[in-house]
Amino acid sequence: MSFKIGFKLMDLDDLLARSTNPDPMYMDNRANVLKGLYILSLGEFWFEIDGESILKRHPDFMAKYPQDTFEVGIDYQALQLFTDIEEFLPVVLQSVPRELAEVVGNGSWIPWKAALDDAAGGSGQNNFPESYRSAVNSARSWWRHRELEFWYLVAPPDIHIWSPDLETVCLHWDTRNKRVEDTLTMIETNGSIESTRSAFLEAMTEFRDSLLGALSGRIRELEQRELIDADGEANLRRQLELYRNQFDTALAGRIDDEQWPEVISALRQLEPLVGPLF
């Protein structure tokens, strides 16, 4: 299976038509739009598996909120996903211990984690006795660190990416039962794919180059239409270079700082309460 990240920037005229807020304290103020690369990246983005988006909006949601949605993916600033992935990559590229790789690979981890959350009273709660609370936090931490958080969405998809070894990267997604006011926000699907590390890094660099290339073209368009002056162009290009440098640093990875013995110990401690995992 092949994996890539797709995106489409909003038409510049449509973006400027939205930028009518007279208050300079807000992002949708026209002057702020013209000097901020982040704001200029508004559009939609999606994850593709074998050429098909796994983040398609549900028809019921599009019918209920036609002015705010795109069909293929998530409508937001593409640079938000870019920076989220940048922060996410160094952790994703760390390999997890063999014991964890096995339970995720054989399908045991997802239902066990769901049972843990149910027993704890929800993913954000910890209803276990005091003596177990530290273990619950440690048991959840490694998976949470490999979750791509769409904090800006009301009903976000679940996407986790991890490396079972230094040659392989895995992705798991779940868009089932994502609702706003009882309306499904996405077409329901879930699954997992496995990619070589080199193919995954190629997909990341392709996303980097295509998005930053599109934003470079947007800067040229602003200049050609005399919507920015030379200083404005220079400022936007400095931002562009900063985004590139930070992403490239993330691609290089980092030293593994996960407390793996503590995580494994916590999971084993919780097995009598939640059920067998290993």
Look up residue 142 and give its two tokens: 């490694």
State pTM to two decimals. Answer: 0.90
Return d(Cα 233, Cα 38) in angstroms, integer.
14
- What one-character DSSP code corresponds to residue 190? E
- pLDDT, position 205: 97
- pLDDT, position 255: 66
Within 13 Å and on the Cβ side, how many CA atoms surround 106? 10
Of residues 255 and 168, the one with the higher pLDDT is 168
Q: Is the dihedral of CA 167, 143, 251, 193 positive or negative?
A: positive
- pLDDT, position 123: 63
Give me the DSSP letters along 67-106. Answer: TS--SSSEEEEHHHHHHHHHHHHHHHTSBPPHHHHHHHHT
Kindly list the distances between the CA atom of residue 62 and the CA atoms of 84, 100, 108, in Å, as whole numbers in the listed order: 26, 39, 35
pLDDT in tens, 217-246: 999 999 999 999 999 999 999 999 999 999
**Portion of the chain with pLDDT greater than 70, in percent:** 96
Confidence bin at 125 (pLDDT 50/70/90)? low
Contact residues for 151 (Cβ-Cβ < 8 A; gap 6+): none
| Res. 252: pLDDT tops 70 | yes
- pLDDT, position 28: 72
pLDDT in tens, 42-54: 999 999 999 999 9
* Element (DSSP H or E) covering residue 163: strand 158-165
| Res. 138: pLDDT tops 70 | yes
- pLDDT, position 39: 92
As a whole number, the mean pLDDT across the chain is: 91
Confidence bin at 69 (pLDDT 50/70/90)? low
Q: The tokens 């499904």 sit on which residue?
A: 184
Name the 3-class secondary structure at 234: helix
Burial class (CB in 10 A: 0-12, 13-18, 19+), 72: middle
pLDDT in tens, 100-118: 999 999 999 999 999 999 8
- pLDDT, position 2: 86
Going by their DSSP bridges, the two strands 158-165 and 168-174 should be labelled as: antiparallel
- pLDDT, position 253: 73
Nearest to 244 by CA among 83, 45, 33, 93: 83
- pLDDT, position 120: 82
- pLDDT, position 231: 95
pLDDT in tens, 20-44: 877 777 777 788 889 999 999 999 9
- What one-character DSSP code corresponds to residue 3? E
pLDDT in tens, 166-196: 999 999 999 999 999 999 999 999 999 999 9
